[in-house]
């Protein structure tokens, strides 16, 4: 794990610690999105959730808290000590391990369920990402289930095209590296795993698109009115708050509209669930 990347997540965790208890827009939206995702996981995995579960890149424990409701044995892994400190408060019954996901200090075949929820896309080195997936396979039982949820490269490209409509050239952030969906499927096939289900979370994808585009639009309008030019500076906090409340007010309409948009063009996230090792 590169030092700059580790420092980024430690700083992000520190900001989270300072904001605990504040009901910000982002927190409200993330909680709603998390509940929807957990409902899907519950429907897809059923009784498997009652067994041993490993969540890699567990962060502050959003999904560990979901697994904690039913799992008989729960372990969370993250390389950020600050994230784990928050996680310990959110999930007191989980065993937490500070480690790099590409080199897990866990025994082979230990878990019935191994999940990586919005984790692998933050591994910017392709070799290390492959190693992380292989580690997930190694610690899973022979009949175990592996779950991966990430934003795909196709989604990022869609966001970039939309942003260019407003004269904004969206770039990948240093801590994220998107893979095309086919790359995930190809690697999983090479490891001898069978993909049994792919689910694309289109509604929340479009919600985030709408929020992002509103930020870009109001940012451009604000900078043009105040300075006579468009700039990549951030909009004022009051305008940001207005956009956030606007999104929350029209959220049901955005989610309804998202169901009418062709999925292949706008699907931003992929979950690969119920993946079982193929016997030969």
Q: Is the pLDDT of residue 280 over 70?
A: no
Residue 161 lies in a domain: no
Residue 157 lies in a domain: no
Contact indicator for 155, 268 with CB cutoff of 8 Å: yes
Q: How high is the pLDDT of residue 215?
A: 74
Tens-digit pLDDT profile for residues 49-94: 888 999 999 988 988 988 988 888 999 999 888 889 889 988 999 9
Q: Rank 148-162, 167-181, 250-264 by mean pLDDT and report only the highest.
A: 148-162
Pairing of strands 140-151, 269-273: antiparallel
Residue 239 lies in a domain: no
For the chain, give the percent of residues with pLDDT over 70: 71
Tens-digit pLDDT profile for residues 99-117: 998 899 999 999 999 999 8
What is the Cα–Cα distance from 84 to 73, expressed in whole angstroms? Answer: 18
Residue 254 lies in a domain: no
What is the Cα–Cα distance from 181 to 72, expressed in whole angstroms? Answer: 32
Residue 248 lies in a domain: no
Q: How confident is the model at residue 23 (pLDDT cuts 50, 70, 90)?
A: very low
Give me the sheet containing 140-151, strands edge to edge: 95-98, 73-78, 52-56, 111-117, 140-151, 269-273, 197-200
What is the Cα–Cα distance from 156 to 170, expressed in whole angstroms? Answer: 9
Total-model pTM: 0.76
Interval 35-58 mean pLDDT: 86
Q: How confident is the model at residue 24 (pLDDT cuts 50, 70, 90)?
A: very low
Interval 175-181 mean pLDDT: 79
Give the CATH number of the domain where residue 176 resides. Answer: 3.40.50.150
Q: How high is the pLDDT of residue 198?
A: 79
Residue 37 lies in a domain: yes
Range of the domain at 121: 3-152+171-202+266-277
Q: Is the pLDDT of residue 265 over 90?
A: no
Q: Is the pLDDT of residue 218 over 70?
A: yes
Q: How high is the pLDDT of residue 213?
A: 75
Residue 81 lies in a domain: yes
Q: How high is the pLDDT of residue 168?
A: 63
Residue 236 lies in a domain: no
Q: How confident is the model at residue 167 (pLDDT cuts 50, 70, 90)?
A: low
Pairing of strands 197-200, 269-273: antiparallel
Q: How confident is the model at residue 261 (pLDDT cuts 50, 70, 90)?
A: low
Q: How high is the pLDDT of residue 237?
A: 62
Q: How confident is the model at residue 275 (pLDDT cuts 50, 70, 90)?
A: very low
Mean pLDDT of the chain: 76
User: Residue 78's Cα: distance from chain center in Å?
Assistant: 14
Residue 242: enclosing H or E segment and its boundaries?
helix 237-258
Interval 174-196 mean pLDDT: 78
Burial environment of residue 115 by CB neighbours within 10 A (0 to 12, 13 to 18, 19 or more)? buried
Q: How confident is the model at residue 246 (pLDDT cuts 50, 70, 90)?
A: confident
Could you give the number of structural domains in the chain? 1
């Amino acid at each position: 794990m590169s030092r700059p990347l580790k420092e980024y997540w430690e700083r992000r965790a520190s900001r989270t610690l300072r904001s605990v208890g504040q009901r910000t827009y982002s927190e409200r939206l993330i909680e709603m999105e998390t509940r929807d995702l957990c409902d899907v996981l519950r429907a897809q995995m059923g009784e498997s959730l009652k067994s041993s579960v490993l969540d890699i890149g567990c962060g502050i424990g959003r999904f560990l808290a979901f697994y904690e409701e039913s799992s008989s044995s729960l372990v969370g892994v993250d390389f950020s000590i600050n994230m784990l400190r928050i996680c310990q408060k959110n999930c007191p019954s989980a065993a937490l391990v500070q480690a790099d996901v590409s080199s897990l200090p866990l025994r082979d075949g230990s878990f019935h369920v191994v999940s990586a929820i919005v984790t692998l896309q933050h591994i910017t080195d392709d070799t290390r990402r492959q190693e992380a997936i292989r580690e997930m396979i190694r610690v899973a039982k022979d009949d175990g289930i592996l779950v991966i949820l990430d934003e795909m490269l196709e989604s990022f490209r869609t966001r970039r095209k939309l942003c260019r409509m407003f004269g904004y050239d969206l770039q990948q952030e240093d801590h994220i590296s998107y893979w095309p969906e086919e790359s995930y499927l190809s690697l999983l096939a090479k490891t001898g795993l069978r993909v049994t289900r792919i689910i694309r979370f289109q509604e929340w994808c479009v919600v985030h698109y709408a929020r992002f585009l509103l930020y870009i639009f109001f940012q451009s309008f604000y900078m043009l009115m105040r300075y006579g030019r468009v700039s990549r500076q951030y909009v004022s906090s009051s305008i940001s708050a207005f956009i956030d409340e606007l999104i929350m007010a029209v959220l049901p309409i955005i989610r309804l509209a998202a169901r009418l948009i062709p999925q292949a063009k706008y699907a931003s996230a992929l979950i690969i669930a119920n993946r079982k090792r193929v016997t030969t």
